[in-house]
Amino acid sequence: MELMLKYGCNPNQTPSRIYREDGGELPVTVLNGRPGYINFLDALNSWQLVKELKAATGLPAAASFKHVSPAGAAVAVPMSPELKKSCFVDDLELSPLACAYARARGADRMSSYGDWVALSDECDAQTAQLISREVSDGVIAPNYSAEALEILKTKRKGNYSVIQINPDYVPAPVEHKDVFGITFEQGRNNAVIDDALLTNFATDCKEFTPEAKRDLLVALITLKYTQSNSVCYAKDGQAIGVGAGQQSRIHCTRLAGNKADLWHLRQHPQVLGLPFRADIRRPDRDNTIDVYLSDDAEDVLADGIWQQFFTECPAPLTREEKRRYLSGITGVSLGSDAFFPFGDNIERAHRSGVSFIVQPGGSIRDDNVIETCNKYGIAMVFTGLRLFHH
């Protein structure tokens, strides 16, 4: 069985199709739209992520994928009023699954623009309603309620991609990939990520809270499906900053840390109170908030750009005010797909409120990393499990 696609990664890459080498039936059914090559890469990677999150935590899970890496991933943990407002969902009743997607989409709303959605459970009407309001390419789930499917079919003038996957499908233990006419073969990454990985403490602090254990599992499973090098900050059952595909680990840590800081700052009272004009769309609000929280905000506001978006010019949030707000953040969890080679990663993580770390260990400078964690009272475990994904 095969499914022909419009084209591959780019329009010049034809023909394009998906199929199984063993000739078996595909585990996916297209219920609406016409998903493309990159859509299916996002769909199949994101489905594995949410399936494993559900298995590890017992909670409904969702992911927001862009270019074969998660912009956000989350499980169904109730949202505070501030977080709901920062995610633009304070006007909706959210089912547990919808809550998980609101969190996943809200991790990095700039990056999630035009995302692929993955859901661990049957898509209900509340989740479909939430998806229908966002700019998105498609969704994959094990099932859809009749009402949810009708809602999704109206999106993108009826062309929104909806994929149903068989949740019982298990791929072959060996996978293949062609590069430049040469076939690569490897065993699938079937490593199970659960609490058993969170026991080998390397630091003086040797305790994780139950919430930290949950968040560290979220971080690790997110990393398992993130292009390497990768680092993930997690808080309250969701990824809040993902650094993907960087050549340097400190750049991963900085990138993900900056995103985590923005996630926190979006909930600052001054940001929640920005006087947006009523006709400003959510994507434009996201872009404006991103600029408002940048180091250039004072110059931009002085240039009069606020007139396009606000009913009145808001006061800038100064660098000192942002730093003061962020200095009160604690209890953030951090995962890395490979070892930290230097203590500078821990120094940067500490600035974003990290209290708990999970990483493979194995660097010749592990002692320096451990020493830096001990300096800040950070609890860290070594898993011995690398999670590179390419």
- Going residue by residue through the chain, which has 390 residues, state the pLDDT in tens, using 9 for 90 and above: 789 998 999 999 999 999 998 889 999 999 999 999 999 999 999 999 999 999 999 999 999 999 999 999 999 999 999 999 999 999 999 999 999 999 999 999 999 999 999 999 999 999 999 999 999 999 999 999 999 999 999 999 999 999 999 999 999 999 999 999 999 999 999 999 999 999 999 999 999 999 999 999 999 999 999 999 999 999 999 999 999 999 999 999 999 999 999 999 999 999 999 999 999 999 999 999 998 998 877 777 777 777 788 998 888 888 899 999 999 999 999 999 999 988 999 999 999 999 999 999 999 998 999 999 999 999 999 999 999 999
Task: Tell me the C-alpha distance between 125 and 230, whole Å.
Answer: 34
| Single pTM value for the model | 0.95
Alpha-carbon torsion (10, 14, 15, 21), positive or negative: negative
Backbone angles phi, psi at 278, to 5 degrees: -65, -25
Q: Please, which residues have CB within 8 angstroms of residue 91's CB and are 6 or more apart in sequence?
A: none
Contact 220, 360 (CB under 8 A): no
Q: For residues 41 and 195, give the distance between their C-alpha atoms in angstroms, rounded to a whole number.
A: 29
Distance from C-alpha of 62 to C-alpha of 68, rounded to nearest angstrom = 15
- Give the C-alpha separation, 216 to 339, whole Å: 15
3-state secondary structure 335-385: EECCCCCCCHHHHHHHHCCEEEEEECCCCCCHHHHHHHHHHHCCEEEECCC
Taking phi over 0 as left and psi of -120 to 50 as alpha, with beta for the rest, 58 belongs to left
Enzyme catalytic residues: 66-67, 229, 390
